[in-house]
């Protein structure tokens, strides 16, 4: 493992711009629609706490191609504009793990059978994450986003109120975004290559557990995932181990943790991290047990 400060600085700046733009863009669009058309459209879908709301959250995530370090910004915007904790939590898992960019990469890398396993596991995990959002401490608004409860005067135009909402959210999330982007830059500067570790795992029965532990902290853009998977597949790992590593790499990262900590606190982050690790490792063990 080597260190490249220039690469780290470039990645930090790129992620500050990317996450900030996503946060501002999604917040403004959702705010404008909410103020101009009312909250009914959100409550009919993402505002629901039942199975329909969970499905909407997971499906919205499946068509939102963001990486793990960016999903926290959209998650905050959804909560701020009326999405329920459960549907937002389903989105939080699905968006980085099973979006269309990741699925195309998985299909090319693993074939259609591996892709079906991956898609089924990802959507199931998103639904479970949403269903047990309260137990996972994914209830951020009351304690950590209380400053967002203020609403501009109703006499202002919708775009002015949406702009005010966006600026308030940006001020609240500015420090976590900068810290998260810095961690993403540090990971890139370290130029860590997981192939040697994965090759050492081999066909050990506990291989999915190790693969999940290696993959969760890493930050990989969805479009760059194929470049990481191609040499990893050549190590001869079992399909379940490969799926554990891929889903863990896609669904979470150290930079995401910095953003989510500001929303759900340290206890919530610890609980969510444990759930992500348990699921990604357990699903890989399940696949290895039933499909060689």
pLDDT confidence of residue 97: 92
pLDDT confidence of residue 149: 44
pLDDT confidence of residue 39: 60
> Residue 50, class by beta-carbon neighbours within 10 Å (0-12 exposed, 13-18 middle, 19+ buried)?
exposed
Rounded average pLDDT over 155-174: 79
pLDDT confidence of residue 128: 96
pLDDT band at 20 (very low <50, low <70, confident <90, very high): confident
Query: Which is more confident, 190 or 16?
Result: 16
Q: Can you give the residue range of the structural domain that contains 30?
A: 5-290
- Chain segment 231-271, per-residue pLDDT in tens: 777 677 888 998 999 999 999 988 888 888 888 889 999 99
CA angle (239, 241, 247) in 5-degree steps: 100
Give the chain as a DSSP string: ----HHHHHHHHHHHHHHHHHHHHHHHHHHHHHHHHH-SHHHHHTTT--SHHHHHHHHHHHHT----HHHHHHHHHHHHHTT--HHHHHHHHHHHHHS-HHHHHHHHHHHHHHHHHHHHHHHHHHHHHHHHTTTTTT---HHHHSGGGG----TTS-HHHHHHHHHHHHHHHHHHHHHHHHHHHHHHHHHT--THHHHHHHTT-TTHHHHHHHHHTT----GGGHHHHHHHHHTTT--HHHHHHHHHHHHH--HHHHHHHHHHHHHHHHHHHHHHHHHHHHHHHHHHHHH--
pLDDT confidence of residue 292: 60
pLDDT confidence of residue 129: 96
Question: Which position has the token pair 């299909």?
Answer: 107
| d(C-alpha 263, C-alpha 103), whole Å | 28
pLDDT band at 42 (very low <50, low <70, confident <90, very high): low
Domain count, the chain: 1
pLDDT confidence of residue 251: 92
pLDDT band at 2 (very low <50, low <70, confident <90, very high): low
pLDDT confidence of residue 155: 52
- Chain segment 92-142, per-residue pLDDT in tens: 999 999 988 889 888 888 888 888 999 999 999 999 999 999 999 887 644
pLDDT band at 40 (very low <50, low <70, confident <90, very high): low
Query: Which is more confident, 226 or 166?
Result: 166
Distant-in-sequence, close-in-space partners of 175: CB < 8 Å, separation ≥ 6? 262
Rounded average pLDDT over 9-17: 85
- Chain segment 175-210, per-residue pLDDT in tens: 888 888 888 788 777 777 777 788 788 778 899 999
| d(C-alpha 11, C-alpha 183), whole Å | 10
pLDDT confidence of residue 151: 45
Rounded average pLDDT over 18-44: 75
| d(C-alpha 26, C-alpha 107), whole Å | 29
Q: Considering Cα of 126, then 127, then 130, then 134, what sign does the dihedral take?
A: negative
* CA dist 235 → 69, 90, 209, 289 (Å): 27, 33, 17, 19
Mean model confidence pLDDT for the chain: 82
Question: How long a stretch of residues is the chain?
Answer: 292
| d(C-alpha 245, C-alpha 270), whole Å | 20
* CA dist 202 → 52, 123, 199 (Å): 41, 28, 6
């Amino acid at each position: 493992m080597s260190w490249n400060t220039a690469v780290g600085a470039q990645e930090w700046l790129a992620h500050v711009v990317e996450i900030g733009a996503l946060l501002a863009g999604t917040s403004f669009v959702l705010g404008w629609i909410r103020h101009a058309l009312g909250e009914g459209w959100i409550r009919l879908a993402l505002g629901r706490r039942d199975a329909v709301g969970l499905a909407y959250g997971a499906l919205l995530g499946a068509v939102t191609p963001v990486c793990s370090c960016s999903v926290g910004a959209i998650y905050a915007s959804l909560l701020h504009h009326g999405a329920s904790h459960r549907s937002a939590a389903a989105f939080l898992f699905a968006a980085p793990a099973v979006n269309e960019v990741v699925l195309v990469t998985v299909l090319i890398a693993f074939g259609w059978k591996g892709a079906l396993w991956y898609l089924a596991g990802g959507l199931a995990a998103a639904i479970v994450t949403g269903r047990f959002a309260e137990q996972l401490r994914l209830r951020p608004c009351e304690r950590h986003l209380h400053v967002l409860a203020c609403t501009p005067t109703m006499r202002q135009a919708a775009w002015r109120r949406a702009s005010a909402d966006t600026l308030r959210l940006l001020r609240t999330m500015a420090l976590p975004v900068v810290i998260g982007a810095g961690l993403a830059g540090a990971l890139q500067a370290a130029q860590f290559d997981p192939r040697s570790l994965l090759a050492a795992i081999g066909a050990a029965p506990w291989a999915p557990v190790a693969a999940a532990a290696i993959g969760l902290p890493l930050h990989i853009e969805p479009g760059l995932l194929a470049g990481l998977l191609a040499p990893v597949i050549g190590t001869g790992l079992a399909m379940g181990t490969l799926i554990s590593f891929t889903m863990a790499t896609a669904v979470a990262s150290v930079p995401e943790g910095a953003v989510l900590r500001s929303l759900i606190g340290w206890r919530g982050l610890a609980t969510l991290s444990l759930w992500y690790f348990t699921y990604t490792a357990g699903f890989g063990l399940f696949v290895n047990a039933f499909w060689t």
